[in-house]
A and B are shown apart, each in its own frame.
Chain A
Amino acid sequence: MVSEKDVQHIAELADVGISSGELGTFTHQFNQILEYFDQLDAVKGDAAAIKDLYNVLREDEIEPSLPQEEVLRNAPAKEDGFIKAPRVM
């Protein structure tokens, strides 16, 4: 069982932003789903992950990069070839 406070904390950890109006419904649905997930507790067996491929490697060769304009084209904010981002503390 997770509380509204827990859900608020998870929303912050994931930085998805739920509004206070959504919190109640979200928490209720969250708990329903987590209860469903809890079925997995009863699963028996060894962790599989028999991976089908190993040592998938590439030779150390240079390939063309994107031109700077292409890199910047979708960026909403740029300056002198750099991409602009909100400040970090």
Chain B
Amino acid sequence: MAETDVIIGLEVHCQLDTKSKLFCGCDTDYRSDGPNTHVCPICLGLPGAMPSLNKRAIEYAMRVAKALNCTVIPESEFSRKNYFYPDLDKAYQITQYDKPLAEGGYLEIESDEGGERKIRLTRIHVEEDPGRLVHMGNVERGKYSLVDYNRAGIPLIEIVSEPDLRSPKEARKFLNKLRATLEYLNVFDSDKEGSLRVDANISIVGSERVEVKNITSYKGVEKALTFEITRQKNVLRRGQRVDRETRHFLESRGVTQSARSKELENDYRYFPEPDLRPLHVQSWVKDIVLPELPDARRERFMAQYGCSLNHARTLTGELKLANFFETVVSSDPKGLSTLAATWIADTLIGELNYRDMHLDPVDPESFTGLVHLLKAGTITDKSGVEVLRVMLDQRLKNETREIPAAIVARLNLAKTAGDTGAVTTAIEEAITENPKALEDYRAGKAGALNFLVGQVMKKTRGKADPGELNRMLIEALRKREA
């Protein structure tokens, strides 16, 4: 529920998915390699090295600006942000200060009350990532830091929202929508660890603003903000004032902690980067062709595949998921869409989350196979879930993959459609074993029938066709002598 007295703004940093770094030719695919192996004189900040701006990074950032309805300014410039920290090897970050790439714009999100809300943006700019610090040592041996400069110079896009968000939930939705949009634009890979970082500004109306830094996950944003709101409200309830400060989010503990106030004293001494030249790229905007974006795809899913709004929203919420759906139903959209939408949105996602598993290992073809089996009535929904679980586990554990039909055959999950004998027996047993249920049913008590259905399902290991079973059970109950 949106609280009318909470004001939230977000600063989102996303790594742009270019091949080389922002100011040098080092390969950006550093995550599986050793420390300091994707480094050159430029990104190491060796004396005398000079930056050379990556054209694709600017193109990607402009794509984002256009998709988010921002205005690209006529003359854009890079500036130096000066501060000292071991992971910042030049002792300044090349960023954009008073002349960012784009200003204004907005992102539409689903509001907490339903319907759509426009969240306004302040600006979008491009900057470089610093290196990565690892803290080492202990009180006895002495503490020190270890630095890996592989990440130094990776291109970042920073998207700043106006303080239009009214709840932690809205903040999470904003972030999800932004992430999806960047994926659709093909400029961002959300699967890469640490590719998205968020700083949040939050205040209770009439009170001071607090900045929360170091939020690195989507769930983390909601947690951090929820904690902050509670903390700030408690402070105010005690009759005290909320301090204007910077706090760090500690994900593992779910709390925010005050950072040293020295951060506030930082004077960054911005001035234009003398080794780079300005950008005049406003004229490029008209030639940018945007791909289909999440909202448009959502509308199309509803129109083309008959998806419900909720299903369409879920399916288009991630690029890979949307592509997956369309591939699964491609052989027979009319026949498969309804079933596929339900099974992907309502079941598959849940099963993937449970296993902490990405969508990537799941091949659409095998999923289509499963949907076909369900459509044909070969297996019940319950069995379908079982088959899906086997499929996912096989992929997760890198075991041999069986096609759905093979799993059904091996586990003998086919519906007992023709085998009414087994079902009839199970029904008679169930009624006999549960006289109270029979009484309740005759007394018209709701739930008695379902209870007996459950008992029969247990006996038939879920293979009885639910529709058939209902009919047969009611018939059997009617036949029992009073």
User: Which A residues lie at the B interface, using CB under 8 A?
Assistant: 13, 15, 49, 51-68, 71-72, 79-89
Contacts and interface: CB of A to CB of B under 8 A. Distances in A.
B146 A66 contact: no
Given A55-B280, A58-B55, A63 B20 contact: yes
B36 A71 contact: yes
B40 A88 contact: no
Contacts of A57: 53-55, 58
Interface of chain B, main secondary structure: loop
A83 B46 CA distance: 14
Contacts of B267: 13
Nearest to B150: A65
A61 B86 contact: no
A82 to B, nearest CB: 4
A29 to B, nearest CB: 22
Contacts of B277: 51-56
Contacts of B451: none
B86 A85 contact: yes
Interface of B: 18-20, 24-27, 34-41, 44, 52-58, 84-86, 133-137, 143-149, 260, 267, 272, 276-281
Contacts of B19: 60-62
Given A56-B53, A63-B26, A66-B40, A82 B279 contact: no
B18 A60 contact: yes
A56 B34 CA distance: 32
Interface of chain A, main secondary structure: loop
A56 B137 contact: no
Contacts of A87: 135, 137, 143-145
Nearest to A67: B37
Contacts of B35: 68, 80-82
A82 B39 contact: no
A89 to B, nearest CB: 6
Contacts of A58: 25, 52-55
29 contacts: A53-B277, A55-B279, A56-B52, A56-B53, A57-B53, A57-B55, A58-B52, A58-B53, A59-B55, A59-B56, A60-B19, A60-B54, A60-B55, A60-B56, A61-B19, A63-B20, A63-B24, A66-B40, A66-B41, A71-B44, A72-B36, A82-B148, A83-B36, A83-B146, A84-B146, A85-B145, A87-B145, A88-B133, A88-B145
A13 B268 CA distance: 10
A20 to B, nearest CB: 22
The 9 A-B residue pairs with the shortest CB-CB distance in the complex, in nearest-first order: A63-B25, A82-B146, A60-B56, A85-B86, A57-B55, A87-B143, A81-B35, A53-B277, A71-B36
Contacts of A53: 277
Contacts of B86: 85-86, 88
Contact of B20 (A51, A54, A55, A60): A60
